[in-house]
Structure 1
Amino acid sequence: MAIAPIKCFLVPAISLFCTLASAASGEQLLYRYTDEQGIMVLNEMVPPEYVAKGYEILNLSGRVIEVVPPQLSPEEFEAQRRQEAREEADRKLLKRYNSLADIESARKRKLAIVEQDMAIMHSNITSLTRQITQEETQAARTQRGGREVAPELLQRIADLQKEVAVLRERLKRRADEASSIGEEFDKAAARYAEITNRS
């Protein structure tokens, strides 16, 4: 493959080097980039229209001291961001767990806490439901006796029903959480296996 010639703006490359060297300033730099014709250009600056395409920074001896990569497109930037996020997540995963058995142990511990909380809520709902049944039985007995049910009793029944409704909603959220935990650890185990089998 033929190498594209290097051209310079304003002056030939040799003259440019001599001129810059004679300035006796160690801070002067050269910039190398590719123009619209695919020709490599050496210059004292990079025209704005070429900055996004990337360039190299050289000292007066011609040694590359920095490479400025091309700017990424929005799609490339997003792909790079996702890749970096995945790599960071992988590092954290490998740091947190030493084996698949560790992941399963962590799953069981986390689920045990949620399941214990759910068991307590189930028990409370059963107890409150029993109380509601007793209070409603008493109210029905009062009505059958031709008497008016005390407002306090009706309010107590309503309060118990609200408490049960709150507990049922909390129980549903905890059940959803348990499902999410299972999915989270399934993904962690699958990814851990993929990483360790690949290395």
Structure 2
Amino acid sequence: MKSTLGGHFCSALLLTLALLSAPLLAEEPDTGPDSVLFRYKNADGNLVVQQSIPPDAAARGYDIITSTGRILKTVKASPKGADAVRAAERMRREAELAEWDARLKRRFSTVKDIESAKQRSLTELRGNLSILRANLSGVTSQLEEQQRRAGIMERNGRPVSDTLKTNIAALEAELVEIHKQIEQRGQTLEGAAAKFDKDIERFKEINP
């Protein structure tokens, strides 16, 4: 019996670890208006990449880049102060929209294409959530069984074995991690749906 319980415990733990460490291909659609950044040199001459830019850096000049480092626009020195920041933000928004539009046109031909991609992505994410919830149920059952055995030992005046204590602690930690992952995957699901909806609305704007 001990060997069987240990085997079940290890199998559940390995399944959870494999699921939690596996990359989610559908976690985020490869489109959206939130991946354009400023790259500039700070006062010490070091390169900085951020979503915003301070006035002094805007005045010295900067690059507008994608999250992968591809340069969309290089801006030379401009007027100092608030005007420089407003101009930089305007150019970033313009580059952001241009990049978003270009990616939408590369990936999709019709709104139906985006809706199909959305469905595939959300189906995959829901599948991952289902696996996590099923594993949560299995680990909960194992924990209850281990706790039941520990209770029997205590009622019989016997000390709870170190192995049983270790298994209980590991299962409790695993439950905490699974709950956290379920919450994160749920947020990812909502975020992905919202991004695809934005893609659809933008695609309609640029393809009236």
TM-score normalized by structure 2? 0.57
- Report the 3-state secondary structure (helix = DSSP H, G, I; strand = E; otherwise coil) of the residue aligned with 2:207: helix
Q: Does 1:99 align with 2:106?
A: no
Aligned-partner residue type, residue 87 of structure 1 = A
Aligned-partner residue type, residue 103 of structure 1 = I
Per-residue displacement from partner, 1:163-185 (whole Å, max 9, x unpaired)?
A: 12112212221111111101100
Q: 1:98 to 1:145 in 2, by over 3 A?
A: same
Q: Which has the larger radius of gyration?
A: 1
Separation in 1, partners of 2:92, 2:163: 62
Partner in structure 2 of residue 143 of structure 1: 154
- Higher relative contact order (Cα pairs below 8 Å, separated by 6+ residues): 2
Aligned-partner residue type, residue 120 of structure 2 = R
Partner in structure 2 of residue 183 of structure 1: 194
Partner in structure 2 of residue 131 of structure 1: 142
Q: Does 1:164 align with 2:172?
A: no
Separation in 2, partners of 1:126, 1:184: 31
Separation in 1, partners of 2:128, 2:99: 33
Partner in structure 1 of residue 92 of structure 2: 81
Q: In angstroms, what is the RMSD of aligned CA positions?
A: 1.6
> How many equivalent residue pairs?
127
TM-score normalized by structure 1? 0.59
Per-residue displacement from partner, 1:24-64 (whole Å, max 9, x unpaired)?
A: xxxxxxxxxxxxxxxxxxxxxxxxxxxxxxxxxxxxxxxxx
Moved more, 71-80 or 177-186: 71-80
Separation in 2, partners of 1:111, 1:125: 21
Alignment of structure 1 residues 6-85 onto 2, 5 Å = 73-74=83-84, 75-85=86-96
* 1:114 Cα deviation after fit: 1.4
Aligned-partner residue type, residue 187 of structure 2 = D
Instruction: Give 5+ residue unaligned stretches, structure 2.
Output: 1-77
Separation in 1, partners of 2:170, 2:91: 55
Aligned-partner residue type, residue 122 of structure 2 = L
Aligned-partner residue type, residue 178 of structure 1 = L
Instruction: Give 5+ residue unaligned stretches, structure 1.
Output: 1-70
Identity %: 28
- Report the 3-state secondary structure (helix = DSSP H, G, I; strand = E; otherwise coil) of the residue aligned with 1:98: coil
Separation in 2, partners of 1:129, 1:156: 12
**Match for residue 120 of structure 1 among 110, 124, 131:** 131
Aligned-partner residue type, residue 93 of structure 2 = R
* 1:80 Cα deviation after fit: 2.6
Separation in 2, partners of 1:96, 1:166: 35
* 1:77 Cα deviation after fit: 3.7
Separation in 2, partners of 1:156, 1:110: 36
